[in-house]
């Protein structure tokens, strides 16, 4: 995609909060809400108070959906160098089926916040409010297109989830997870028609269905751990 046509998110929201005394403002976003398979992954990113150069250092950081995989990987390295802290949380498909995708997304965000150090003082969230997190929050639709820390979180979440899904290719061959990352595509639909759902498919999502009594899904005996596949994880604060 032509980067010159992509609107650069700003630090306007973060700056307002820094001026109000909040020094550790975390942006949050998720990846994988609409996928048929795999976890929902959330990331939280705290950017340091702007020294006048931060936006320049993070030039090109924007909504992850507008970027190629290679560009997201490159920008993740940039974000890692300049962020004060980063955290990633994930909720597995079975939990998504049990609690629903909205609750699972909130849970993933809470897990991402749990591993942030230093802890945040205020949150900027793309779309969802976190009622169980006792911190000041600003929630906005399309926050990943407007707010730099949310855009950074969108990239961290997307790269983390994509890496995880690519790692499932060898565990559950034949589904094409490395290519479509669990989203609904013709290839994915054809694989489901041929093989049936796997242990990492979300059975509460269309076009999937609960297994019939006694029916086993592909990979039911596989040991699947979100921690077993490389995810970006958390980042300690930079040295002052």
* CATH code of the domain covering residue 126: 3.30.420.10
For residue 161, pLDDT beyond 70: yes
Confidence of residue 211 (pLDDT cuts 50, 70, 90): low
Condensed to tens digits (0 to 9), the pLDDT of residues 95-117 reads 999 999 999 999 999 999 999 99
Residue 38 resides in a domain? yes
| Mean pLDDT score of the chain | 89
Confidence of residue 240 (pLDDT cuts 50, 70, 90): very low
Say how far apart CA 177 and CA 162 lie, in whole Å.
9
106 is a domain residue: yes
**Quick one: pLDDT at residue 19?**
96
Domain range for 33 is: 3-161
Asked if residue 232 is part of any domain, the answer here is: no
Indicate whether 135 belongs to any domain: yes
- pTM of the complete model: 0.88
User: Is there a domain that residue 28 lies in?
Assistant: yes
Domain-located, residue 209: no
- Does residue 231 sit within a domain? no
- Any domain includes 136: yes
Residue 175's pLDDT is: 96
Condensed to tens digits (0 to 9), the pLDDT of residues 165-174 reads: 999 999 999 9
- Distance of alpha carbon 156 from alpha carbon 202, whole angstroms: 23
- Give the pLDDT confidence score for residue 227 in this predicted structure: 43
pLDDT at 215: 63
The pLDDT score that the predictor gives to residue 49 is 93
Number of domains in the chain: 1
């Amino acid at each position: 995609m032509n980067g010159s046509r992509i609107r650069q998110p700003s630090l306007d929201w973060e700056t307002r909060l820094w001026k109000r005394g909040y020094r550790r403002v975390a942006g949050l976003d998720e990846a994988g809400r609409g996928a048929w398979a795999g976890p929902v992954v959330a990331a939280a990113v705290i950017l340091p108070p702007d020294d006048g150069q931060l936006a320049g250092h993070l030039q090109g950081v924007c909504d992850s959906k507008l970027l190629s995989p290679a560009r997201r990987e490159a920008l993740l390295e940039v974000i890692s160098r300049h962020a004060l802290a980063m955290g990633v949380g994930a909720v597995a498909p079975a939990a998504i089926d049990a609690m629903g995708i909205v609750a699972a997304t909130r849970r993933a965000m809470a897990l991402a916040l749990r591993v942030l150090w230093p802890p945040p003082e205020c949150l900027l969230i793309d779309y969802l409010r976190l009622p169980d997190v006792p911190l000041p929050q600003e929630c906005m639709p399309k926050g990943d297109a407007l707010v730099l820390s949310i855009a950074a979180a969108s990239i961290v979440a997307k790269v983390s989830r994509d890496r995880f899904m690519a790692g499932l290719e060898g565990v559950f061959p034949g589904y094409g997870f490395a290519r479509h990352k669990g989203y609904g595509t013709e290839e994915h639909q054809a694989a489901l028609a041929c093989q049936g759902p796997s242990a990492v498919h979300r059975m509460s999502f269309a076009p999937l269905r609960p297994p019939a009594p006694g029916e086993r899904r592909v990979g039911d005996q596989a040991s699947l751990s979100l921690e077993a596949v490389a995810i970006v994880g958390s980042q300690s604060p930079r040295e002052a």
